[in-house]
Structure 1
Amino acid sequence: MDHIYSSADIATALPELQWLEAPLANAQEDVLFPLAWEELACRQVGKGAAPILHVWRHPAALVIGHRDRRLLNAPQAMERARNSGMSVCVRPSGGAAVMLDRGVLNLSLILPNPQRAISLHEDFRLMAGLVADALAPWSDEAQTGEIVGSFCPGDYDVSVGGRKFCGIAQRRQAKAYIITAFVMIEGHGAERAQAVQQFYREAAGDTPAGSQQPDYPQVNPATMGSLAELAGVPSVEAYTASLRRVVESQAAILPADSLLVQPEELAKQMAALRERYDLQV
């Protein structure tokens, strides 16, 4: 495990940015909505719009990765989740299945890349630094490194005491890109992990004798925790306010551009993402 790099370098990486904090979605809202918005906003950043930090939540959603969608019974498992009242989608960024609810905060840094020279590790460290610095009022024990047995595992899992509370992924476009993170703040990490574990059990199905076991994360609920459990963070609102203070201490916050994405474009983008990632294997 590695100690977190401070986000103090954000002033160099992001001298100014737009802070866009979306209101909590209602349960009927398609979780693909914020992801489609980010796809379109990323194009605008690639054309010269200011970088964006998008902060959002959904009360009941399952967001899975490309490889998850290829599992034998993934469509049936996704439909079962929908029938239980969750919004379900396949996300365009990397990573694997994540369970979202009102206690999980989603962060997306949308950054320009005019030279098409992305430094993956530095960018992941920047996001991890933001997440950890926002946690500083309650704990300085955040570390990075893959937590084996967690859902959506990766080299830049962020954890406290060996239990993961945050995962980071990336989505690239031609002239801009998005670094995304989920941060479990309220509730119980193990319960979310059990729900992801159940999805994989259903999606993988029975492996015929002699065939190769499907490739998907083997989730151990004991590896996941929320910041309420791990560090005593009282609420999503308290953590978000701390994150805002961290960003304001390092970068100039610009007013959010309400005209950045047009509604008619958003509807088309949602349909395109659904067709490309959800309906096709």
Structure 2
Amino acid sequence: MDKASLPARLGAIDAAANVMTGDIVVPFAFDEVYGRQVGHGLLEPAVHLWRHERAFVLGSRDWKLPRVREAVQWLQGQGYSVTVRNSGGAAVPLDPGVVNLSLILPNRQGDLDVQRHFALMAELIRQSLKSRSCRIETGEVSGSYCPGEFDVSVRGKKFCGIAQRRQTRAVIVQAFVLVEGSGEARGKLVKAFYDLAAGGASAADHPIVEPARMSSLSELVGDMTAEDFVGLLTQQLASLSSLVPYSDCLRFELDGLQQAVDDCRRRYPVHV
């Protein structure tokens, strides 16, 4: 990874040590508002790390499935906080064994090179784990949930997916990393969601999930905790940029955060 790939200074917003509960829309709204301020030069670029106790995040395409509201109610009945993210991709379950990672970076207005930011995140994950595995690959894993060209896998088992949200002057590259627990169990949950939400829709309208194609890092490379992964990632970032603790960054203005939450709720009324 070239040092020029990341800004010289990067704010470190590390909330992963404390597993969040409550409305899953909040961390996505935070990224949205923080990204706007980065785009206007009011805040430094940042990395945002977080985990959630029990959540299920849909892609915008999932929201169009015929019985999606019934499937959302089924999830909520099991205690999942549900939202629809605006960064592309498809359904992803979150729990304490999943580390969520956002790179919030400035982007030149009119810059349409989407691939380089996907590649940046994939390479960051690969380099962070190079001491634990030399078999990390990038490329779509057929049968995985939230499939994409920049899936990150080991021996054909996906443990990381990447999506991005492009604003006028900023880009938010988001990754979920399965660190602990069973990838297959999460895959079974996503498959059950699609079985209910699809309601007879064409297979072309949603991913066909084969749960066994998902795995976690602890299953793939030996014992690894969320804390271990965050440590490896932070070391890699520190070798590429000057990491600035969040408390030392320019002050984040909360104005607009509640508005972003409310906007998402209106657009995707999953809260019933």
User: Could you say whether these structures have the same fold, taking a TM-score greater than 0.5 normalized by the shorter chain as the test?
Assistant: yes
C-alpha distance in structure 2 between counterparts of 1:190 and 1:44, whole Å: 38
Q: Given the two structures, how large is their TM-score scaled by the length of structure 2?
A: 0.93
Which letter does structure 2 place at the counterpart of 1:215? D
C-alpha distance in structure 1 between counterparts of 2:4 and 2:241, whole Å: 5
1:83 has 2:83 as partner: no
Instruction: List gaps (5 residues or longer) in structure 1.
Output: 1-7
How many residues were matched structurally?
A: 267
Who is 2:240 aligned against?
Answer: 250
C-alpha distance in structure 2 between counterparts of 1:261 and 1:160, whole Å: 40
C-alpha distance in structure 1 between counterparts of 2:172 and 2:261, whole Å: 17
Kept after mapping to 2: 8 A contact 1:71/1:214: no
Which letter does structure 1 place at the counterpart of 2:23? D
Who is 1:260 aligned against?
Answer: 252
C-alpha distance in structure 1 between counterparts of 2:189 and 2:32, whole Å: 27
Identity %: 42
Corresponding residue SS for 2:153? strand
Higher deviation after alignment, 179-188 or 113-122? 113-122
Which letter does structure 1 place at the counterpart of 2:237? V
Corresponding residue SS for 2:159? strand
Cα deviation for residue 42 of structure 1 reads 0.4
Which letter does structure 2 place at the counterpart of 1:261? E
Assess, with a 3 A threshold, how the Cα gap between structure 1 residues 53 and 16 changes in structure 2: closer, same or farther.
same
C-alpha distance in structure 2 between counterparts of 1:206 and 1:116, whole Å: 40
C-alpha distance in structure 2 between counterparts of 1:146 and 1:160, whole Å: 12
Cα deviation for residue 233 of structure 1 reads 4.2
Deviations 1:97-126 (Å, cap 9, x if unpaired)?
001100000110011013331422221111
Cα deviation for residue 250 of structure 1 reads 1.1
1:178 has 2:175 as partner: no
Q: Give the RMSD, CA atoms, in angstroms.
A: 1.7
1:216 has 2:192 as partner: no
Corresponding residue SS for 2:260? helix
Which letter does structure 2 place at the counterpart of 1:112? P
1:196 has 2:190 as partner: yes
Q: Given the two structures, how large is their TM-score scaled by the length of structure 1?
A: 0.90
Cα deviation for residue 171 of structure 1 reads 0.4
Higher deviation after alignment, 87-96 or 122-131? 122-131
Kept after mapping to 2: 8 A contact 1:37/1:261: no
Which letter does structure 2 place at the counterpart of 1:82? Q
User: Following superposition of structure 1 onto structure 2, how do residues 1-281 of structure 1 map, counting pairs within 5 Å?
Assistant: 8-22=1-15, 23-27=17-21, 29-48=22-41, 49-206=43-200, 212=202, 215-256=205-246, 257=249, 259-262=251-254, 265-278=256-269
Q: Which runs of 4+ in 1 moved over 6 A?
A: none
Which letter does structure 1 place at the counterpart of 2:252? L
C-alpha distance in structure 2 between counterparts of 1:270 and 1:113, whole Å: 23
C-alpha distance in structure 2 between counterparts of 1:189 and 1:222, whole Å: 8
Assess, with a 3 A threshold, how the Cα gap between structure 1 residues 258 and 74 changes in structure 2: closer, same or farther.
farther
Which letter does structure 2 place at the counterpart of 1:216? H
Cα deviation for residue 278 of structure 1 reads 3.8
Corresponding residue SS for 1:66? coil
C-alpha distance in structure 1 between counterparts of 2:242 and 2:112, whole Å: 23
C-alpha distance in structure 2 between counterparts of 1:132 and 1:14, whole Å: 19
Kept after mapping to 1: 8 A contact 2:144/2:214: yes
Kept after mapping to 2: 8 A contact 1:91/1:277: no
